C-alpha cells in the first residue's frame, strides 16, 4: 500500500531522517515508536505528504507522490488519506458535525450528503448526541473521536495518527484503541500511528522502532538485512557444504543455527 524509500530530511543543519525505508501493508496497523526527537512525527508527516523530504520516494499504491504538484497532491491527500493528531485540531467555530463534514465538502460532496455522512460516522463513534456541539463544549475523548470521524469521512485508504491518545486519560485511551482495532478488523482500515502509549502500540501488526533518525527495528528491515548478510557472506557452494557439516553435527542446543541453515537452504534453492 505505502512504500517509503531512501528518505532523508534535514532541518537546517540537523539531519532528522537518515535513509528511511519502510513498507506498510494493506489492512495493517503499524506503530512507529521510539524516544522523543527520534524523527517519528517528521516521518509520519512525510509519509502523509504533509512535509516534503530532501530526497527519497513515497509510493502510494504504485503512485510516486514526491514531486507531485501541490494542488494535485492536496486533492490526492483529501481523497486517500485521513489524519488524526494529538490535539484534535478541530475548527473551534464549527460544530462536531460540520468539522467532520468539511473534508467531504472539500472533495466536492453536496452539503446534504456530507452532513448526513458526518452524522452517521459520529453516531457510529458514540457521539449521536454531540452533533451540534462545538469542540469547546466536548470532552477530550469526544473531540478525539470527532477527529477520527473527520479522518474517515472520505473513506481513506490510510489513516495517519500522531500520538492520538497522547492527551487523553486511560478510559479514553482505551476507547480510541478499541476504535482502531474495530476499524482494522471490520473495514480492513490501514492505520499508521506514532505512539508512546504501550497498550496502543500493542494492537499493532507491525512495530517500527526509531532512534536518532533511523529505523532500528522493523520486521521487514530485519528480514532484508538478514538476507543481505547471507547473500554477501557465503557463496551457494560454500553454503551447501556448511549446511552439510552443520546438519551432521546438529543437536538440540543449535536451534538458532538450525534456523539459519533453513534460510541458507531456501536461498540456495
Ligand X SMILES: Nc1ncnc2c1ncn2[C@@H]1O[C@H](COP(=O)(O)OP(=O)(O)O)[C@@H](O)[C@H]1O
Alpha helix (H) residue ranges in the chain: 40-47, 70-80, 96-106, 111-124, 140-152, 170-187, 198-201, 219-233, 236-248, 255-268
Interface region with ligand X, contact rule CB under 6 A, candidates 38-46, 167-175, 199-207, 242-250: 38-46
Task: Candidates 31-39, 72-80, 104-112, 142-150: pick the segment binding ligand X (CB under 6 A).
Answer: 31-39
61 phi/psi in degrees, rounded to 5: 45, 45
Nearest approach in angstroms of CB 211 to ligand X is: 9
Cβ 168 vs Cβ 160: under 8 Å: no
Among 41, 95, 172, 239, binds Mg ion (CB under 5 A): 41
182 φ, ψ to 5°?
-65, -40
- The minimum distance between CB 43 and ligand X, in angstroms, equals 7
DSSP code string of 181-234: HHHHHHH--EEEEE---HHHHTT-SEEEEEETTEEEE-HHHHHHHHHHHHHHH-
Question: 11 or 129, CB closer to ligand X?
Answer: 11
Residue 64, beta-bridge partner list = 59
Q: Report the nearest approach of ligand X to the CB of residue 6 (Å).
A: 18
Rounded distance between C-alpha atoms, residue 196 and residue 97, angstroms = 29
Minimum CB distance to ligand X smaller for 39 or for 48: 39
Query: In angstroms, what is the minimal distance from the CB of 124 to ligand X?
Result: 30
Sheet of strand 158-162: strand arrangement:
81-84, 158-162, 190-194, 29-33, 206-211, 214-217
User: Which residues 154-193 are close enough to bind Mg ion by CB under 5 A?
Assistant: none
Long-range contacts of 252-257 (CB under 8 A, 24+ apart): none
- Based on the shown chain and the rule CB under 6 A, indicate whether residue 42 belongs to the binding site for ligand X: yes
Q: Answer with the entry of Mg ion, ligand X, none that 215 interacts with (C-beta below 5 to 8 A by kind).
A: none
Range 193-212 burial, b when 16+ CB lie within 10 A, else e = bbbebeebbebbebbbbbee
* Among ligand X, Mg ion, none, partner that 67 touches (CB below 5 to 8 angstroms by kind): none
CB count in 10 Å sphere of residue 76:
15
Of the listed pieces 33-41, 45-53, 215-223, 257-265, which binds Mg ion according to CB under 5 A? 33-41
Q: Which residue in 4, 30, 39, 147 binds ligand X (CB under 6 A)?
A: 39
Which residue, 138 or 193, is less far from Mg ion as judged by CB? 193
Exactly one of 29, 40, 49, 104 binds ligand X (CB under 6 A); which one?
A: 40
Residue 11 Cβ vs ligand X, minimum distance, rounded to whole Å: 3
Q: Which of 16, 46, 104, 152: binder of ligand X (CB under 6 A)?
A: 16
Q: Which stretch binds ligand X (CB under 6 A): 33-41, 56-64, 79-87, 121-129?
A: 33-41
The minimum distance between CB 54 and ligand X, in angstroms, equals 13
Q: Which residue is nearest to Mg ion (CB)?
A: 41
Binding residues for Mg ion, per CB under 5 A? 40-41
Amino acid at each position: 500500500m505505502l512504500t517509503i524509500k531512501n528518505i532523508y530530511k534535514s532541518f537546517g543543519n540537523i539531519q532528522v531522517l537518515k535513509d528511511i525505508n519502510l513498507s506498510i501493508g494493506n489492512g495493517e496497523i503499524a506503530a512507529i515508536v521510539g524516544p522523543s526527537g527520534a524523527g517519528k512525527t517528521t516521518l509520519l508527516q512525510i509519509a502523509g505528504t504533509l512535509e516534503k523530504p530532501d530526497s527519497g520516494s513515497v509510493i502510494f499504491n504504485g503512485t510516486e507522490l514526491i514531486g507531485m504538484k501541490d494542488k494535485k497532491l492536496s486533492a490526492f491527500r483529501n481523497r486517500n488519506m485521513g489524519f488524526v493528531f494529538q490535539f484534535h485540531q478541530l475548527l473551534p467555530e464549527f460544530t462536531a458535525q460540520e468539522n467532520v463534514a468539511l473534508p467531504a465538502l472539500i472533495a466536492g460532496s453536496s452539503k446534504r450528503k456530507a452532513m448526513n455522512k458526518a452524522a452517521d460516522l459520529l453516531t457510529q463513534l458514540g457521539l449521536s448526541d454531540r452533533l451540534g456541539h462545538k469542540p469547546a463544549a466536548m470532552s477530550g475523548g469526544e473531540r478525539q473521536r470527532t477527529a477520527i470521524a473527520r479522518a474517515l469521512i472520505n473513506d481513506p485508504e490510510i489513516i495517519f495518527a500522531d500520538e492520538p491518545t497522547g492527551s487523553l486519560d486511560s478510559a479514553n485511551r482505551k476507547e480510541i484503541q478499541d476504535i482502531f482495532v474495530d476499524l482494522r478488523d471490520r473495514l480492513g482500515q490501514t492505520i499508521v500511528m506514532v505512539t508512546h502509549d504501550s497498550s496502543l502500540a500493542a494492537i499493532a501488526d507491525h512495530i517500527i522502532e526509531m532512534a536518532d533518525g533511523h529505523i532500528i527495528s522493523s520486521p521487514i528491515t530485519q528480514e532484508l538485512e538478514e538476507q543481505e548478510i547471507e547473500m554477501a557472506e557465503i557463496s551457494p557452494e560454500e553454503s551447501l557444504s556448511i549446511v552439510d557439516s552443520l546438519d551432521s553435527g546438529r543437536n538440540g542446543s543449535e536451534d538458532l543455527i538450525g534456523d539459519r541453515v533453513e534460510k541458507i537452504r531456501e536461498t540456495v534453492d
